[in-house]
Amino acid sequence: MWRDAALVAGKDLRIERRSRVGLTQVAPFGIVALALFAFALGPDRSDMARGAPGLFWVAVLFCTVLAVQRSVSVEAADGARDGLRLSGIDPAGLFLGKAAAVGALLVVLEAVLAVGVVLLYGARVEVPWLLVASCALGTIGLAATGTLYGALSAGLRVRETLLPFLLLPIVAPVLLAGTKIWQAAMLGGTPSSGTPWLRLLVVFDAVYVAVGIAVFGPIQETA
């Protein structure tokens, strides 16, 4: 399972390295989203700094949708999905590999967006380890749910419109938890106010990673 996961993740990241879709399209989109939030909130940077935690996570969610779409579409052509199934790769490994590749892309995007939030909105970072921890845990959850729903919608012609609708409500707890943790880390809350939310993220990750490992095989048959 782990070897298969590494193979699949390596393949997806190699495609990303050669096509640079994530870096040249998704990351700039994230920056555009941050700029649009700034236009919506007006030129006062103190408003933006107060909204920064939530806006960061909303931008991450949007980028997740794009990253998952990309992860699905690299398998869409030339019967690549059937090829993967025929190759004898363990479905659980395939799930973990796809999720790891999406997660790796998301980590880069989050770093870009975090720098953007600090520079553009003037948000102050008071407890850096909370930011890093929430990003790490949030990324696992987003990548796992995204990969699950990506596989479910893989064969659909209406994938582009249906996937965000199905995925975004599911990851609402990640948005709430991430925002609360970032508020604690940026707006001078006590670090301990973030810990129940970190626990929630851990549960979210565990649940959806376990579900993905368990049912990714049957899900592939639905596409």
Partner 1 sequence: MTDRSTAAGATRSQPAPSRPPPPHPAPTSVPNTGVTPPPVPSVRARTTERVIGILALVGTAATVWLGLWVTPPDRTQGDLVRLVYIHPGVAWVALYLAFGLATVASLLYLWPRTRSMFWDRLAAAAVEVGVVFNVCTLVSGSIWGKPTWGVWWAWDARLTLTAVLLVLYLGYLALRRVPAEPEVRARRSAFVALFAAIDIPLVHFSVDWWNTLHQGATVLNAGLNLKIHGSMAWTLLLGFVALTLVFVWMLLVRYRVGAMEDWLAANELDLALAERRSEGAEDRGGAPADPVGVA
Binding positions for partner 1, rule: CB under 8 A: 145, 148-149, 152, 156-158, 162, 165-166, 169-170, 172-173, 176-177, 180, 196-197, 200, 203-204, 207-208, 211, 215, 218-219, 221-222
Helices (H), 20-127: 21, 27-41, 45-73, 80-86, 91-121
First to last CA, the chain: 22
The angle at the Cα of 107, spanning 106 to 112, to the nearest 5 degrees, equals: 95
The radius of gyration of the chain from alpha carbons, rounded to an integer in Å, stands at: 18
Q: How far is the CB of 157 from partner 1 (least distance, A)?
A: 8
Which of residues 28 and 79 has its CB atom nearest to partner 1 in the complex?
79
Q: For residues 108 and 159, give the distance between their C-alpha atoms in angstroms, rounded to a whole number.
A: 25
Q: In this complex, which beta carbon is closest to partner 1, that of residue 135 or of residue 154?
A: 154
Closest to partner 1 by CB, 120 vs 209, is 209
Least distance in angstroms from the C-beta of 67 to partner 1: 19
Q: Tell me how far, at minimum, the Cβ of 162 lies from partner 1, in Å.
A: 6
**Among residues 56 and 149, whose Cβ is nearest to partner 1?**
149
State in angstroms the smallest separation of the CB of 21 from partner 1. 26
**What is the spatial distance between Cα 9 and Cα 89, in angstroms, rounded to a whole number?**
12
DSSP state, residue 133? H
